[in-house]
Chains A and B, each alone.
Chain A
């Protein structure tokens, strides 16, 4: 986030935030977005391409970009990096076998310069499933403590199925972005 864009945002007074949702396939990105928006989550197909949702949250307008996570289309994630204020990384806490994949993809993502200023929210999804790892365990597996010290990050356990933990996570994200960008308020 350059100085110019900060100034531009303050000037615009729109209080808009751009949030990018990424994560492996089957982690529940689309379900999370629809659940927050209060829509039906029972007939969600795996995302081919992306969805955009504009949600008014507190006094801010969130532009949530929900990008498909299938392996074939992961290479297109970088097309959405520009001007991202908040990054939401969704983890399927019950898919223990692919946690290594998950760690690798997250590490690759965090190397990206265009995302270096974005606040990172990690949602340890599917906590409703018995046998799912807790957020603390996920943090350990993903080795989040070793992340760049300048990064603002937080891990929150949630369940897109029940809706638990979602608001808590997004509260943190919005507050964190707001304190960085709209500091004059």
Chain B
């Protein structure tokens, strides 16, 4: 019952409440709808934005690239300014950095709608620009080292600095380094040099291919560079030997120190007072020294190498600093070693002596009327002229025999003298058959008959340049008993 009674009250109360609530509700609804409207508007606006996004991205990119171009041109200006007016450089750099920061701001402002790739790439560009500015700054305005100095001198320093840099290449190109004695740029030749009685300091072998080199006697230092497929036999070296870039060679060397760089597939027969070293080499093998020539004992003693030191096998590999054996070198197995190598001069002293006798014989021939063939060929008047010239050259030859240091060179002198007159001795080689023993002398004589001028040229150029003579005559010289 009570419930029923209460019931009619309810709507009364509700009505009262309802009026309030209604108001509130209405207000709420209004607010909500307002909000909704605003939200709608907003989203519309946004949507319109987002629909335009491609357009504004491109416009952003356009603006961005414009700014970047102007900054780039500012960079270019900076270099010009640095040359013309370095004092303005600082303010110019300040301008550049402010425009870079403007650009950065532009990217930040637009980042909310830009695709992430664009944001990343433009930020990257900005950071690159900053980097450029920094490097340019350090390049054009060098940092001064802290030091105490007088104020007056500080101003002079800036323009002075580029000068030494410019003078650098000039001064180095101006200075020509003279060539040291040596054999260079040869292929397929037998190169012989005797140091006996000479004061040769350094000797160079470089750019040789398929050559055999014999150096007899002592010298101080030897440099070898870029040899390929060569055999090098060398008397003791007092100082050191430096070998670089050799391939498929065999070396027979004795020295105080030996350094081997960049060697490949090469055998070394060494006697060294210190430990030989290799660097950047592989497939190199070592064995003891095995050279012999007349008088080698004296030379070895002179270089302090008369006794075997046993160092030929104590190789240090600078590219292998471990206790275990380096894979780059090994000891040459005994059955693969070459035997004792005996070398000699291309023309030995005795041969030179015999040659001298023969020259005198031939010289006397016209007077003694032994070689009648000669008198028959040459008219008397020419004979006299020739005699004069011949005597002069003989005197020259004898002088050079005693004063020119190398035995080999002397021998070449005599050969040249004889050959240069061989024209007059057409019957000579036939009349003196024992001359055959001068290994190929005959052939050379005939050869030079055909080209006398060439021989003379070689002969004279040899004296003028005082270079070791390696002309065609030596090529035919007897090969040593290897």
Q: Which residues of A contact B (CB under 8 A)?
A: 25-26, 42-46, 48, 70-73, 94-97, 99, 103, 126, 128-133, 137, 140-141, 143, 145-146, 150, 161
Contacts and interface: CB of A to CB of B under 8 A. Distances in A.
Contacts, number: 95
A161 B261 CA distance: 24
A131 B259 contact: no
A146 B177 contact: no
Interface residues of B, number: 40
A128 B239 CA distance: 11
Interface stretch (B13-21, B75-83, B200-208): B200-208
A147 B86 CA distance: 25
Given A126-B221, A131-B201, A26 B259 contact: yes
Contacts of A103: 172
Tell me the dominant secondary structure on chain A's binding face.
loop
B171 A44 contact: no
Contacts of B240: 26
Closest 3 A-B residue pairs measured CB to CB? A130-B201, A45-B274, A129-B201
A125 to B, nearest CB: 11
B204 A25 contact: no
Given A126-B221, A143-B171, A46 B177 contact: no
A97 B225 contact: yes
Contacts of A97: 204, 206, 223, 225
B328 interface: no
Nearest to B304: A42
B175 A130 contact: no
Contacts of A143: 168, 171-172
Nearest to A137: B175
12 contacts: A45-B316, A46-B257, A46-B277, A48-B321, A70-B279, A70-B318, A71-B261, A72-B318, A96-B178, A130-B199, A146-B168, A161-B239
A106 to B, nearest CB: 13
A71 B279 contact: yes
A146 B240 CA distance: 32
A162 to B, nearest CB: 12
B125 interface: no
Interface string B233-266: 0000001101000000000000011010100000
Nearest to B242: A26
B266 to A, nearest CB: 18
Nearest to B167: A146
B42 interface: no
B273 interface: yes
Contacts of B220: 94, 128-130
B188 interface: no
A46 B201 contact: no
B275 interface: yes
Given A43-B274, A70-B277, A131 B181 contact: yes
